Structure 1
Amino acid sequence: MMNIGRLNIGRLNLAGLILVSGWFLTACMPTATVKSKLDVIEDRCPCKAAPDTLIVLLPGAYDTPGDFVAHGFVAAARARRIAADIVMADTHVGYYTSALVVERLQQDIVAPARARGYRHVWLVGISLGGYGSLLYSKQYGGQIAGMFLMAPFLGNRSLVAEIRKTGLAAWQPGEIAATDYDRELWAWIRGYSDAPRQRPPLYLGYGLEDRFAGSNRLIGDVLPPGHVGTVPGGHEWRPWRALWEEFLDRDVLPRCDDV
C-alpha cells in the first residue's frame, strides 16, 4: 500500500547546478526547502509475515521520490515478491548544500526503522543519491546491511583524474584538508580494496555510456566479482531501471514465502 507523506512531487529546477569542493551548489535558481524532517513516500510489503528489511531509495539531483514509482522501481520489486518495505526519501540538493543529508537519513529514516525492528536496511541511490548513500555509509556504516548504487556521482573531476592514474587500490590520498570532502570520501571507498569487511556490502551498476562511467569503473575495479553490473545507455532512467531489475534478480534481498 502506497502512502505519500509530506511530499511535494514538483520536479526540482536545477538548471544552474555547479560543483564546488565536492558539493552540489545552485546558482540563479530557487532553493528547494530544507525541512526539519524528510518528506517520504512509503510502500508496504504485501507479504503476510512482517518484513525485517527496509529499502531506502534516494533520488538523483533532478529527480523526486515519485519518479521511483513512475519509472517502475516499486512495481519491479513487488513483481519479484521482495520481502521488504520501501521508503523513497526526498533528499533533494538542499540537504547536500546544507550538509544535512547524512543526519536527516539517520534521524528520520534509519534510526527509527531499526527501533521499529527492521534488522536490515539497504540504501539504494541514483546519481547524487549514490553520493549521499556513500556519505551516510562512511559515517554510519554499521547501521545498514548494504548499498546498491546506480551511476553514482563521485565528486570533482580533477580528483577522479588523479585516482585514474594509479587505480583506486594503489592510490594514496595524502594529507586530507578538513574541507576536502571528496578526497576524504574516496579514501574511505578505497578501503573496499583492502578492508572490505569493515564496510557495508556495496553493489554498483551504471550505463556504459553514462557520463560517470569512468569514475564508477574505478570503484568497480575494487569490488568483488558479481558486485558490478553494466548495461547499455547513459545517465537516464531506462538503464537505471534495467540495473535495478538485474540487482533484484540476484537474490541479494529476501523474498516473500507467501503473499
Structure 2
Amino acid sequence: MSTGIVKSKLDVIEDAASCKAPAEVLIVLLPGAYDTPADFVKQGFVRALRERQIAADLVIADTHMGYYPEGLVVQRLHDDIVAPARKKGYRQIWMTGISLGGYGSLLYAKEHGADIDGMFLMAPFLGNRSLIAEIAKTGLADWKVGDIPAADYDRLLWSWIKGYSDPVYAGKPDRPPLYIGYGTEDRFAGSNQIIAKVLPAERVTTTDGGHEWQPWQRLWASFLDRSVLPRCE
C-alpha cells in the first residue's frame, strides 16, 4: 500500500521493449488508490505486454492518493514523465490506468490532451455519486452542464468528458482517442457505462467480474490484443 507521502518527483518502475529498434511508443500506467507499481508487475501486466512483443516502453507511476488534491498528479505526470518522454523523441504516448488511475488519466488529458495519443481506462473511478446519478438521468450527450464552481473538479472533468459525445469535438487533436473497459459487476460499472454509450463500440470492452485484478487482467490483455499498438518487427 502506498504511504501517501508526496515526493517532488514520482517513483516509477520502467520496462523497455526488447525490439531490435528503440521503441517510439511509451505507455504510462497509473495504479488504483491502494495499489503500487509493483502490484502491476506481480499481477502480470508487464509480462502480458512483453509476451505480445508490443513495441512500446512502459512506465508505471506511483500516483497514489496523495497526489490528487489540487491536481498535483497532473503536474507530476507532465513534468516527470510526459514532457521528458517527448524530449526523448517518443512519437506516441498512451495514458492508461485502473480505478483512481483512470481518473488521473482523464485529469491529465483534460489539461494536456494534445501531449498524449490515446487513453485506456480500466474500471475508472469517475467522481461523486450524486453527480453521476444526475448525468445518468439524461445521458452524457443531453446532460446540461450549467455553471460550474472552480472548486467542483468532478463536474469540470465531466464537462470535458462530455465532448466525447459530440463528433465535432471528439476528433480534435487535444482530445485523444478514449478506450474503456470494466467488469459487468464492477461497482463503477454504472458510471463507466455513461461514457461507454457515447464511444464507438470497438473502443469499449466488458468482462465478467467486479473491481478486482482478474477482470482487469482480462481487460488489459484484450486491449493489448487490439491493433492499436505496434508490434516488434
TM-score range, shorter chain: over 0.9
Aligned match for 2:206, one of 227, 230, 255? 230
The 4+ residue runs of structure 1 with deviation greater than 3 A are none
Aligned match for 1:126, one of 98, 114, 117? 98
Q: What is the deviation of 1:98? A: 4.7
Question: Is 2:13 the counterpart of 1:41?
Answer: yes
Q: Could you tell me which residue of structure 2 aligns to residue 177 of structure 1?
A: 149
- Determine the C-alpha separation between the residues in 1 that align with 2:231 and 2:11: 27
- Determine the C-alpha separation between the residues in 2 that align with 1:100 and 1:60: 16
Q: What is the deviation of 1:33? A: 1.1
Q: Could you tell me which residue of structure 1 aligns to residue 81 of structure 2?
A: 109
Find the residue that maps to 2:221 and give its secondary structure: helix
Spell out the pairing of 1:49-88 with structure 2 (5 A cutoff): 49-88=21-60
How high is the TM-score relative to the length of structure 1?
0.87
How high is the TM-score relative to the length of structure 2?
0.97
- Determine the C-alpha separation between the residues in 2 that align with 1:99 and 1:205: 24
- Determine the C-alpha separation between the residues in 1 that align with 2:107 and 2:87: 22
Q: What is the deviation of 1:99? A: 2.6
Instruction: Provide the alpha-carbon RMSD of the alignment.
Output: 0.8
Q: Could you tell me which residue of structure 2 aligns to residue 153 of structure 1?
A: 125
- Determine the C-alpha separation between the residues in 1 that align with 2:59 and 2:216: 18
Q: Which amino acid aligns with 2:171?
A: R
Unaligned runs of 5+ in 2: none
- Determine the C-alpha separation between the residues in 2 that align with 1:119 and 1:51: 9
Find the residue that maps to 2:154 and give its secondary structure: helix
Please identify which structure carries the higher helix content.
2
Aligned match for 1:205, one of 172, 176, 181? 181
Q: What is the deviation of 1:251? A: 1.4
Question: Number of aligned pairs?
Answer: 229
